[in-house]
Amino acid sequence: MQYSQKLNDMEARFDDLTRQMADPAVISDGETYRKVARERSELEDVVTKYRDYKQAKGNYDEARSMVDDPDAELRQMANDEIQRLEPELVRIEQELKVLLLPKDPLDEKNVVLEIRAGTGGDEATLFAAEVFRMYTRYAESQRWRVEVTSASESAVGGLKEVIALISGNKVYSHLKYESGVHRVQRVPATEQQGRVHTSAITVAVMPEADEVEIKLEAKDVRIDTFCSSGPGGQSVNTTYSAVRLTHLPTGLIVSCQDEKSQIKNRAKAERVLRSRLYEMELDKQREQIGAERRSMVGSGDRSEKIRTYNFPQNRVTDHRIGLTLHQLDLIMEGRLDPLISALTNYQQGEAA
């Protein structure tokens, strides 16, 4: 099998890391333990699949050794086992090949999610709110944490804009293909004649930047404070807890008023600002790559129409891979796995 030596080395390393995690000296050192656990976790899927392969290959070799047995019944059993195991070995080898592909270094990162209403007026703001709820439900199913940093409501109860931080395990790897224009087709509540309208929103998913990756210089950031607006109790319009950061070199502006504490709002705003600056740097790198930047999946271009949600037909279509699912009701409840898995598999298939 191709990559056998590499897989053997990975298996040996996995076993060594497993032993280290049981070492009292490692357990007592929190930082070392986290580092060991993280590396072991990164190897686990590959090693588990490799062990599945070795088990199947052992059974296959044993069956092959029995095809010339004098006992006719044993020969038949051996041939049946070979026919069963041959496609299984091919499948496992392909899955191992995908698992061994170079991983996106951003996959482990948390994300900043930005949703903005586009064409369609009030209907677009209502859809923006529903899509944000969709992602929130999906985050709950993944046991991720969602923190809203800012939100602007419309007169009809929708969202003109919402920005949120999503933290958890491999958030970016799941959501990185969601950036782009999301189009909705349905009869708005305000439509008297039952006509289907088309509206659109934009979704941006940005990997959160660590402080060491994007360092904010005090001289480059102007900090303004102001009174919060909207729900929030007695502190609304009485304390200067809301924070606005302006990055002077780029003109980027980030506001946060979700918390009652000015310190907490500033910390959240800084996380969003660092991520936007990080995204700008990534865009520069992608432009240099050129063709990869313009690939069908994962281009990250927010002007690209990526998906259509058709409510009358209970249909959602991802235009990048030509996938249509007639389960829009489930998708809007946050059951995004069929879409996310299809997009991930397509990208991996292109890379393999």
Q: Is 192 in the same domain as 333?
A: yes
Q: What confidence category does residue 290 fall into, taking pLDDT thresholds of 50, 70 and 90?
A: very low
Domain boundary among 99, 129, 159: 99
Helix (H, G, I), strand (E, B) or coil at 119: coil
Please say if the pLDDT value at position 11 is more than 80: yes
Residue 33: Cβ within 10 Å count: 16
In this prediction, residue 342 carries a pLDDT of 92
Residue that the structure tokens 């909207």 belong to: 230
Mean pLDDT of 225-238: 58
Q: Is 27 in the same domain as 48?
A: yes
Helix (H, G, I), strand (E, B) or coil at 67: coil
Q: Is 66 in the same domain as 178?
A: no
Least confident piece of the model among 98-107, 113-122, 241-250, 304-313: 98-107
Q: Is 152 in the same domain as 22?
A: no
Provide the angle, in degrees to the nearest 10, between the axes of the packed helices 30-64 and 4-21: 140
In a domain, 106, yes or no: no
Q: Is 90 in the same domain as 232?
A: no
What are the tokens at 326?
A: 């007639």
Q: Which residues contact 43 (CB under 8 A, 6 or more apart)?
A: 10, 13, 14, 17
Mean pLDDT of 47-61: 95
Domain boundary among 99, 127, 155: 99
Please say if the pLDDT value at position 141 is more than 80: yes
- The domain that holds 263 is classified in CATH as 3.30.160.20
Number of domains in the chain: 3
Mean pLDDT of 293-314: 68
In a domain, 341, yes or no: yes
CA distance 229 to 110: 28
Q: Is 119 in the same domain as 185?
A: yes
In a domain, 80, yes or no: yes
In a domain, 246, yes or no: yes
Whole-model pTM: value is 0.67
Please say if the pLDDT value at position 240 is more than 80: no
In a domain, 104, yes or no: no
In a domain, 244, yes or no: yes
Domain boundary among 251, 267, 287: 287
Provide the angle, in degrees to the nearest 10, between the axes of the packed helices 30-64 and 72-99: 150
Average pLDDT taken over every residue of the chain: 87
- The domain that holds 90 is classified in CATH as 1.20.58
Q: What confidence category does residue 146 fall into, taking pLDDT thresholds of 50, 70 and 90?
A: very high
Contact between 183 and 117 (Cβ < 8 Å): no
Phi/psi of residue 268, each to 5°?
-65, -45
Query: Each residue of 160-193: pLDDT tens digit?
Result: 999 999 999 889 999 999 999 999 999 987 677 7
**Who wins on pLDDT, 294 or 334?**
334
In this prediction, residue 351 carries a pLDDT of 64
- The domain that holds 154 is classified in CATH as 3.30.70.1660
Q: Is 185 in the same domain as 235?
A: no
In this prediction, residue 236 carries a pLDDT of 47
Please say if the pLDDT value at position 151 is more than 90: yes
Among the listed residues 319, 324, 352, 320, the one whose alpha carbon sits nearest the alpha carbon of residue 338: 324
In this prediction, residue 288 carries a pLDDT of 56
In a domain, 91, yes or no: yes
In this prediction, residue 285 carries a pLDDT of 66
**Who wins on pLDDT, 319 or 188?**
319
**Who wins on pLDDT, 220 or 282?**
220
Please say if the pLDDT value at position 352 is more than 50: yes
Q: Is 95 in the same domain as 116?
A: no
Q: What confidence category does residue 295 fall into, taking pLDDT thresholds of 50, 70 and 90?
A: very low
Q: Is 27 in the same domain as 85?
A: yes
Give how far the C-alpha of residue 329 lies from the chain's centroid of Cα atoms, to the nearest Å. Answer: 21
Q: Is 130 in the same domain as 201?
A: yes
In a domain, 243, yes or no: yes
In this prediction, residue 286 carries a pLDDT of 61
Mean pLDDT of 73-90: 94
CA distance 135 to 123: 19
Among the listed residues 287, 245, 276, the one whose alpha carbon sits nearest the alpha carbon of residue 111: 276
Question: Which domain range does residue 347 map to?
Answer: 111-209+293-351
Radius of gyration of the chain measured on its C-alpha atoms: 26
CA distance 270 to 254: 8
In this prediction, residue 233 carries a pLDDT of 44
Q: Is 283 in the same domain as 297?
A: no
Q: Is 155 in the same domain as 53?
A: no
Residue 129: Cβ within 10 Å count: 22
